[in-house]
């Protein structure tokens, strides 16, 4: 999966449990409760998993259950929301980029299952 160029600056990832996925197409950020944090090397390993997600056939629902907020030493770099049912991820970038991308991934692939297991472990 293609990550924003700022992903190389990420040093801290917050894992977010999304409680109310409704309205996801209007989100400016991934809503939910932070259930865990990955720092430095762990954060890079999680981002490697995300970067290794193969593309896949997408479906329609987009009801994401988990998300990631990526930070460098002081600011939010980007956010991701994952729907493992419809095989889509939403990438949100704050200003100055203010981009939103909805991308497909193979939720049945080993990297996706490993990422889901990390989310559930938290």
pTM to 2 decimal places = 0.92
Tell me the pLDDT tens digit for each residue of 104-116: 999 999 999 999 9
Q: Is residue 3 part of a domain?
A: no
Q: Is residue 60 part of a domain?
A: yes
Owning domain of residue 81: 8-121
**Percent of residues, the chain, with pLDDT higher than 90:** 75
Check pLDDT > 70 for residue 92: yes
The number of beta carbons lying within 10 Å of the beta carbon of residue 7 is: 18
Q: Is residue 1 part of a domain?
A: no
With bands split at pLDDT 50, 70 and 90, how would you rate the model's confidence at 25?
A: low
Tell me the pLDDT tens digit for each residue of 29-87: 999 999 999 999 999 999 999 999 999 888 888 999 999 999 999 899 999 999 999 99
Q: Is residue 63 part of a domain?
A: yes
Q: Is residue 59 part of a domain?
A: yes
In what helix (H) or strand (E) does residue 31 lie, and over which residues does it extend? Answer: none
The span from the CA of 101 to the CA of 43, in Å, is 22
Q: Is residue 117 part of a domain?
A: yes
pLDDT of the residue at 22 = 80
Q: Is residue 2 part of a domain?
A: no
- As a whole number of Å, the CA-based R_g of the chain is 13
Look up the CATH number of the domain holding residue 89: 3.30.1490
């Amino acid at each position: 999966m293609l990550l924003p160029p700022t992903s190389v600056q990420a040093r801290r990832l917050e894992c977010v449990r999304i409680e109310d996925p409704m309205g996801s197409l209007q989100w400016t950020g991934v809503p939910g409760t932070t259930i865990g944090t990955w720092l430095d090397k762990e954060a890079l390993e999680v981002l490697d998993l995300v970067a290794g997600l193969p593309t896949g056939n997408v479906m329609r629902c987009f009801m994401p259950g988990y998300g990631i907020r990526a930070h460098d030493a002081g600011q939010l770099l980007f956010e991701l929301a994952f729907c493992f049912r419809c095989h889509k991820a939403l990438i949100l970038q704050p200003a100055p980029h203010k981009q939103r991308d909805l991308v497909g991934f193979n939720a049945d692939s080993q990297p996706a299952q490993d990422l889901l297991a990390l989310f559930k472990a938290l």
